[in-house]
Amino acid sequence: MKNGSIGVRWNTRVTAIESGRVHLEGKDGPGILPAQHVYLMTGFTPSPELLVSLGVTLDPQSGVPHHDPATMETNVPQVFIAGVLASGYDANKVFIENGRGHGALIAGALSAADAAVR
């Protein structure tokens, strides 16, 4: 953030995510940003509603989104989960100590997918 390589838009809300772009609404009004990937940081008690709206299925007992534990990709291609989202209804299952590897798994899956396209 400090050197400008990561853009920050405080007090801005994502209103839609489309292939290749994200729609925003903020203090400067509406806007559209180009985006290859979108990372949602939803906090410690995230709601699964966004995942469900994308078509991700949840285990009815545990609330854990169906995903490949080797890549963290859900049943919806190119939709990944990380951190506490992987614990479903029991947020005490995933902490920094055992969730920090999720990012590496996702990055590996995205890198492999990018390499396959080339």
pLDDT tens digits, residue range 9-46?
A: 888 888 888 889 999 999 889 999 998 888 776 666 67
| pLDDT-wise least confident of 42-46, 100-104, 108-112 | 42-46
Mean pLDDT (whole number) for 54-61? 95
Query: What's this model's pTM, rounded to 2 decimal places?
Result: 0.64
Where are the alpha helices (H) located in the chain, listed in sequence order? 49-54, 96-99, 102-117
Tell me what pLDDT residue 45 has.
67
CB 47 within 8 Å of CB 37: no
Residue holding tokens 């990380």?
82
Mean pLDDT (whole number) for 51-55? 91
Locate 27 and state its tokens.
């203090």
- Mean model confidence pLDDT for the chain: 86
